[in-house]
Structure 1
Amino acid sequence: MTKNYRVEGMTCEHCSNAVVEEVSTVPGAQGVDVDLDKGVVTVSGHGFTDDAVSTAIEEAGYKVVD
């Protein structure tokens, strides 16, 4: 399963690293990729939930937008 999340406020490599570090701790998330230009976080794996990914992104200091 692969899902994309639009994330507000990411502007630099530090932002990207913070999001990858937090989302990588989500159970079931096996791959995390950040596209800073598009403001998109792509998560792949099996068994992760949207709520868990959103919470991890918020822990990193950013917000998932619709």
Structure 2
Amino acid sequence: MTTATYKVTGMTCNGCATKVKNQITTVAGVSNVDIELATGHVTVTTDSTVDNAVIVDAIEETGYEAVLV
């Protein structure tokens, strides 16, 4: 298992966080998603085959910007 944290800008409410979490969980290999709304940090646990760029792309598909921290 691999854990990575991303800084997501633009999430302002629980609805935003839910939208991001639901999108990330559609990525094959993702086992857990934790979101800290106050800081904009999203921690994602995956198997070792998932590339960080795939997670960033999934987040950005929801309309938010993301970078690996």
Same fold (TM over 0.5): yes
Aligned residue for 2:45? Answer: 44
How many pairs does the alignment contain? 66
Q: Name segments (4+ residues, structure 1) moved above 4 Å.
A: none
| Structure 2: distance between partners of 1:28 and 1:21 | 14
Q: Is the 8 A contact 2:33 2:45 kept in 1?
A: yes
Aligned residue for 2:61? Answer: 59
| Structure 2: distance between partners of 1:34 and 1:26 | 16
- Cα gap change, 1:13 to 1:45, in 2 (>3 Å): same
| Structure 2: distance between partners of 1:28 and 1:65 | 19
Q: State the Cα RMSD in Å.
A: 1.1
The alignment-based identity, stated in percent, is: 39
Q: TM-score, normalised by structure 1?
A: 0.92
Q: TM-score, normalised by structure 2?
A: 0.88
How many Å apart are 1:65 and its aligned residue?
3.4
Encode CA deviations 1:7-26: one digit per residue, 9 max, x unaligned.
11011000100000100011
**Which structure 2 segments of 5+ residues have no match?**
none
Aligned residue for 1:33? Answer: 34
